């Protein structure tokens, strides 16, 4: 029994990048109210206007602004590059106080042998967020969902589970409910934040799988 999240607003930090844009689009299609955030308010507004015209997006309500506007929503998705992660969150500490943050950052590096995990001093991007934002309800989710599938209007169902991590159980359940709003997606609770590092890093394996099999791989948890 997950909570009803249909009335909650969702802000997306870094909403002009592929992952943030894709999640904003899918959640708008699911009927959610979305604020697309960007470092530059103009870019957020433009991205929101483009998103709102995509097939099905009118089921929700999409507006745009700067990251501070996105950080003032009920649920805030951090779809940031790892490089700007700590700095952006620190600057938004006030706006994010008391809110649910969904960290979906994958700290990865790439070289001639492909993708690999990058060590994070705090253990994971999610734990870094929790350290920087002691007054925010930090969760982690949406690491493995293919941006290509999310942003393709022709894809009617994104058939994957979303692993949701968090030490704040009601916050994690809220995020599970949000993920499950996306057609095809199921939000599965997958442990505490201290076990977020391997979930973030597993994205490197999914990229390796994509390269080997020419796929947009996702994950399903069996027997749940």
Q: Which residues bind its own copies (CB under 8 A)?
A: 113-117, 159-160, 163, 165, 188-192, 194-195, 197-202, 204-206, 208-209, 212-213, 215-224
Tokens of 199: 């979930």
Closer to its own copies by Cβ: residue 93 or 192: 192
Give the shortest CB-200-to-its own copies separation in angstroms.
Answer: 8
Give the shortest CB-151-to-its own copies separation in angstroms.
Answer: 16
Closer to its own copies by Cβ: residue 53 or 224: 224
SS3 of 52, please? helix
| Residues pairing with 64 in the sheet | 36
User: CB of 166 within 8 A of CB of 190?
Assistant: no
User: CB of 157 within 8 A of CB of 183?
Assistant: yes
Give the shortest CB-206-to-its own copies separation in angstroms.
Answer: 8
Helical pair 82-91 and 125-132, crossing angle rounded to 10 deg: 20
Closer to its own copies by Cβ: residue 41 or 202: 202
91 to each of 87, 88, 107, 217, how far by Cα in Å? 6, 5, 20, 34
SS3 of 164, please? strand
Give the shortest CB-50-to-its own copies separation in angstroms.
Answer: 26
Give the shortest CB-131-to-its own copies separation in angstroms.
Answer: 17
Other beta carbons less than 10 A from residue 97's beta carbon? 13
Give the shortest CB-21-to-its own copies separation in angstroms.
Answer: 20
Closer to its own copies by Cβ: residue 31 or 184: 184
Q: d(Cα 73, Cα 95) in Å, to the nearest integer?
A: 9
Q: d(Cα 32, Cα 121) in Å, to the nearest integer?
A: 35
Closer to its own copies by Cβ: residue 10 or 163: 163
The residue with tokens 């999409």 is 62
Closer to its own copies by Cβ: residue 56 or 191: 191
User: CB of 88 within 8 A of CB of 67?
Assistant: yes
Give the shortest CB-51-to-its own copies separation in angstroms.
Answer: 24
Closer to its own copies by Cβ: residue 71 or 117: 117
């Amino acid at each position: 029994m997950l909570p009803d999240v249909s009335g909650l607003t969702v802000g997306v930090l870094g909403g002009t990048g592929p992952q943030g844009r894709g999640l904003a689009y899918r959640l708008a299609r699911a009927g959610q109210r979305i604020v697309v955030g960007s470092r530059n308010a103009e870019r957020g507004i433009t991205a929101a206007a483009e998103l709102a015209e995509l097939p099905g997006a009118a089921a929700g309500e999409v507006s745009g602004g700067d990251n501070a506007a996105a950080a003032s929503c009920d649920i805030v998705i951090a779809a940031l590059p790892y490089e700007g992660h700590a700095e952006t969150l620190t600057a938004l500490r006030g706006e994010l106080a008391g809110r649910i943050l969904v960290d979906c950052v994958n700290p990865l590096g790439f070289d001639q042998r492909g993708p690999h995990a990058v060590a994070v001093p705090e253990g994971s991007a999610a734990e870094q967020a929790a350290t920087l934002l002691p007054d925010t309800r930090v969760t982690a989710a949406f690491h493995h969902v293919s941006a290509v599938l999310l942003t393709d209007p022709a894809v009617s169902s994104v058939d994957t589970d979303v692993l949701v991590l968090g030490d704040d159980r009601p916050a994690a359940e809220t995020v599970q409910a949000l993920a499950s709003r996306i057609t095809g997606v199921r939000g599965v609770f997958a442990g505490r934040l201290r076990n977020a590092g391997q979930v973030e890093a597993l994205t490197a394996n999914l990229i390796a799988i994509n390269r080997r099999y020419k796929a947009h791989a996702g994950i399903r948890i069996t027997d749940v």
